[in-house]
Amino acid sequence: MGFHQSKADPSLFINGNGMNFLAILVYVDDIFVSSPSISLIRELKTYLDDTFKIKDLSNHGYFLGIEAHMTSTCLNLCQHKFALDILIEAGFLDSKPVSTPMVSGHRLDKDGGEAVTDVASYRRLIVHLLYLTATRPEISFAVQQLSQFVDSPTNGHMSSTHRVLRYIKATPGQGIFYPQNGDMQLNVFSDSDWATCSTTRKSITSFCVFLDSALISWRSKKQATVSRSSSEAEYRALAAVVCEVQWLNYLLKDLQVELSRPTAVFCDNKSVVAIAENSVFHETTKHIEIDCHIIREKLTQGLVKLLSISSSNQVADGFTKALPTAQFHLFLSKLGIQDLHAPAYRGYWSMQHVEKLTKLRGSGVK
């Protein structure tokens, strides 16, 4: 039918342009189709059914465990049923809920108490929680920390995992909010926490990418090497961000989205911005791997624009550490998280929250 495979994502197949654009996303035997034209979708489904005998699930409502709730103004993605299934399997459906996934300032290490006898149950919980981060970015840091100990978990690690489950119990229907209209431009927040691992002294890379005010990509991951300074750790995190922005540019281009200006990358470390923009700082960066200097190359090409931001406005901060309750709730509001299954929020998020999120544009987060 004339489709070609996307070079950015081998699971994506695209065809046509404008009102005749068709996109197919394939995961094993599950297929998701999108197009501005409903007649093209029907034609494609007829062709696939004649060839493979498909089962048509109609409009997007439930796909690979992710629930989609769409209105004329917004889209919400959550994993309400999957979250409840995790709680039921772990026996935490009647547990006492908590307001944050981790205790503020709490650090996990390898020596966290006695070894867990049922290691398989710990690993199974971590696998479930990893998949839950597809729509629950706020638990990414907690899950990243806990996933380091799947080889030999202790009762302390299990206790921290149970706290994450109690947090999920408080908000099982929480998910990501996407407003329908917005400026098709990328805004990125990059952060790092230096040498926080007590065992390896490696740092945490974190970032979150917004398409206007809609969160589309995020990461909380331990760096592969040890950094000699906080600036070096931030610089490595920034290199990961630039690579992600380059990939997103390729992917958006395949989806017929053209970005008209460089991506704004916000960093709260002024020395890192100076290092990226000025090669005079060679003496302090000559030991850093060459691939990290992709930042300077992409700056020259106009792909990204580095902007300094205060630490209090750094959205990615919640991906590097466990925050106090008040800061954590502020972190949630900046990410664009909502709970459709909480009646008190249904009228609030559709108006008040959209207004807050649109302020991400420009020089920082309000």
pLDDT digits (tens, 9 = 90+) for 161-185: 999 999 999 999 999 999 887 788 9
How do 174-179 and 74-78 pair as beta strands?
antiparallel
Reported confidence tier of residue 365, pLDDT bands at 50, 70, 90? very low
Strand order through the sheet with 263-267 = 214-222, 204-211, 186-193, 263-267, 304-308
Please give the model's pTM, rounded to 2 decimal places.
Answer: 0.86
Q: Please, are residues 168 and 87 in contact by the beta-carbon 8 Å criterion?
A: yes
Contacts of 276 (CB under 8 A, 6+ apart): 235, 238, 295, 296, 299, 306
Strand ranges for 36-148 from DSSP E: 62-63, 66-70, 74-78
Contacts of 361 (CB under 8 A, 6+ apart): 183, 185, 187, 212, 213
Considering just the CA atoms, what is the radius of gyration of the chain in Å? 22
Angle at 238 between CA 234 and CA 239, to 5 degrees: 120
pLDDT of residue 287: 63
Reported confidence tier of residue 7, pLDDT bands at 50, 70, 90? very high
Can you tell me the mean pLDDT for 315-323?
93
Q: Please, are residues 234 and 274 in contact by the beta-carbon 8 Å criterion?
A: no
In the beta sheet, which residues pair with residue 30? 27
Looking up tokens 């297929």, which residue turns up?
31
52-56, 87-91, 194-198, 323-327, range with the lowest pLDDT: 194-198
- Give the 3-state secondary structure of residue 186: strand
Q: Please, are residues 160 and 280 in contact by the beta-carbon 8 Å criterion?
A: no
Q: Please, are residues 120 and 157 in contact by the beta-carbon 8 Å criterion?
A: no
CATH 3.30.420.10 range(s) for the chain read 183-316
Above 70 in pLDDT, residue 284? no
As a whole number of angstroms, the distance between CA 359 and CA 268 comes to: 18
As a whole number of angstroms, the distance between CA 44 and CA 59 comes to: 15
If one compares 59 and 240, the residue with the highest pLDDT of the two is 240
What CATH number does the domain located at 183-316 have?
A: 3.30.420.10
- Nearest of 54, 50, 7, 2 to residue 32 by alpha carbon: 54
Q: Which two tokens stand for residue 2?
A: 């004339």
Above 90 in pLDDT, residue 233? no
Angle of helix 119-132 relative to helix 80-90, nearest 10 degrees?
Answer: 170
Q: Which two tokens stand for residue 362?
A: 């420009």
